[in-house]
């Protein structure tokens, strides 16, 4: 179980990874970033079914509030 402070840090890092993923031009690097996103997503919320299909993830964009 992660602590609240760690949870917040992981969510911030997840946002950065998603932004890096969408800005990345190199497919090999994108694959590495995608794997990191999936691992970190599982740490943040292991019970949630994230977008595990990379092709669907490519169309997912974060909206800044």
Domain segments of the chain as ranges: 4-56
Residue 64 has pLDDT above 50, yes or no: no
- HEC profile for the chain? CCCHHHHHHHHHHHHHHHHHHHHCCCHHHHHHHHHHHHHHHHHHCCCCCCCCCHHHHHHCCCCCC
For residue 36, the model assigns a pLDDT of 94
**Per residue in 11-55, pLDDT tens?**
999 999 999 999 999 999 999 999 999 899 888 877 766 666 666
Longest dimension (CA), the chain: 35
Q: Are 51 and 18 in contact (CB under 8 A)?
A: no
For residue 60, the model assigns a pLDDT of 63
């Amino acid at each position: 179980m992660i602590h609240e402070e760690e949870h917040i840090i992981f969510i911030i890092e997840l946002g950065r990874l998603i932004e890096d993923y969408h800005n990345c031009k190199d497919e090999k690097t994108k694959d590495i970033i995608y794997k990191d996103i999936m691992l970190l997503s599982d740490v943040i919320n292991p019970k949630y079914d994230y977008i595990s299909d990379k092709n669907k993830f490519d169309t997912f964009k974060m909206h800044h509030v």
